[in-house]
Amino acid sequence: MERIYNIGNTIIDFEKVRAIKLNNYNNLGKTNILEIEYFARIEYSRNPFTNEIEKNEIVDIIKKEYPDFETAQLNQISIEESWNEYLKNKNNDKF
């Protein structure tokens, strides 16, 4: 199983995926947004005002809105199945 996955012009790096969620509602109503959350990464930068190095934790999230819940759910299932297959193959390669 490949590490990089492409679905509907969305590129996903399975090595970095932490969670896959389908948000069907928010405070504005129905949304049908599929979210792929990556593990946090650390970035260091120099604060120009204090001249000190600061550590920042960044969580990248890919969001893709679909026209209806069924399409969003089908894509979620497809991505989750491929992600699980990737993880299974990755764990089998270790042994």
26-51 CB burial, b ≥16 within 10 A, e <16: eeeeebbbbebbbeeeeeeeeeeeee
| For range 11-28, the mean pLDDT | 86
pTM, rounded to two decimals: 0.78
Residue 11 and residue 5 in contact, taking contact as beta carbons nearer than 8 Å? yes
- Amino acid type, 30: K
Q: Kindly state the helix (H) or strand (E) to which residue 29 belongs, with its residue range.
A: strand 29-38
pLDDT in tens, 27-83: 666 678 899 999 999 999 999 999 999 999 999 999 998 888 899 899 999 999 999
Domain ranges in the chain? 4-94
Q: Residue 31 has which token pair?
A: 């949304």
pLDDT over 80 at 25, yes or no: no
pLDDT for the residue numbered 90: 85
